[in-house]
């Protein structure tokens, strides 16, 4: 890669929306680092894209493990010295049919560990690479279930709370960062992935569009906002 080429990192990049994001960012000229907790699947996915002449590499990262995230940030800094775009895509949906108060606490703990604390630690360790160059774009893949209005309805409690917290993190980090660094959240909608299932109306490519747009916004673009289908939506 050239010294002027921008670098993007996508968590959970070995399948679904994450894989499509890696592909689309590479098609837009980025060197893309595909991050995955499963080394075999991650390397295979990165190799498949590289064989299509896309500029993609792999780094192992388990977003449930802050030590793994820290090591990944060290590796990326040593190899590339920069990260221009960071997309927190990795997430889990393990809610059953039980209400929040009837669920095993471990379900909430697991969901928060991945969907909220995972994104928090990824931002915490990679933000310095953006700050040293005064530029960066962070996109948190959230959900309409994370909107405050959804808290008035029962069900899917662990997932809802994790995305509500992720939205709050987006707003708070936006208030704290300086320079041309922007962070936004996106509701990709119901997508045909392993998580969304085969009946979902959206393809991963359609879901990736607004995320890639936010990854490439200019200095006058939004910061600390929540989007769906390229339009601002209520928190």
* DSSP for residue 223: -
User: Could you tell me the pLDDT band of residue 66, with boundaries at 50, 70 and 90?
Assistant: very high
> In b/e form, how buried is each residue of 147-180, taking b as 16+ CB within 10 angstroms?
beebeeeeebbbbbbbbbbbbebbbebbeebeeb
Beta bridge partners of 120: none
The tens digit of pLDDT for each residue in 174-201 reads 999 999 999 999 999 766 676 666 666 6
Residues with a known catalytic role: 159
6 pLDDT above the threshold of 90? yes
User: Could you tell me the pLDDT band of residue 83, with boundaries at 50, 70 and 90?
Assistant: very high
* DSSP for residue 53: T
The tens digit of pLDDT for each residue in 100-156 reads 999 999 999 999 999 999 999 999 999 999 999 999 999 999 999 999 999 999 999
DSSP 154-213: -S-HHHHHHHHHHHHHHHHHHHH--SEEEEEEE---SBSSTTT-TT-SB-HHHHHHHHHH
Class of domain 7-232: alpha beta
The tens digit of pLDDT for each residue in 13-62 reads 999 999 999 999 999 999 999 999 999 999 999 999 999 999 999 999 99
Q: Round to whole Å and give the CA distance between 42 and 59.
A: 8
Q: Round to whole Å and give the CA distance between 30 and 97.
A: 41
Domain residue ranges in the chain = 7-232
pTM: 0.95
């Amino acid at each position: 890669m050239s010294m002027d080429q921008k670098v993007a990192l996508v968590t959970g990049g070995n399948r679904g929306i994450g894989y499509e994001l890696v592909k689309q960012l590479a098609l837009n000229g980025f060197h893309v680092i595909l991050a995955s907790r499963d080394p075999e699947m991650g390397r295979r996915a990165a190799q498949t894209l590289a064989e299509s002449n896309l500029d993609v590499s792999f780094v192992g990262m388990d977003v449930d493990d802050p030590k793994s995230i820290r090591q990944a940030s060290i590796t990326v800094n040593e190899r590339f010295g920069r990260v221009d775009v960071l997309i927190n895509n990795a997430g889990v949906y393990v809610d059953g049919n039980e209400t929040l108060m009837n669920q095993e606490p471990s379900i909430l703990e697991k969901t928060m560990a991945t969907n909220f604390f995972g994104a928090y630690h990824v931002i915490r360790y990679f933000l310095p690479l953006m700050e040293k160059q005064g530029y960066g774009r962070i996109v948190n893949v959230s959900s309409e279930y994370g909107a405050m209005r959804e808290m008035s309805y029962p069900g899917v409690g662990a997932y809802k709370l994790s995305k509500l917290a992720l939205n709050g993190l987006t707003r708070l980090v936006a208030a704290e960062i300086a320079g041309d660094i922007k962070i936004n959240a996106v509701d990709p909608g119901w997508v045909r992935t392993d998580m969304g299932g085969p009946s979902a109306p959206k393809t991963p490519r359609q879901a990736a569009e607004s995320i890639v747009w936010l990854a490439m916004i200019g200095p006058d673009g939004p910061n600390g906002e929540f989007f769906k289908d390229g339009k601002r939506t209520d928190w």
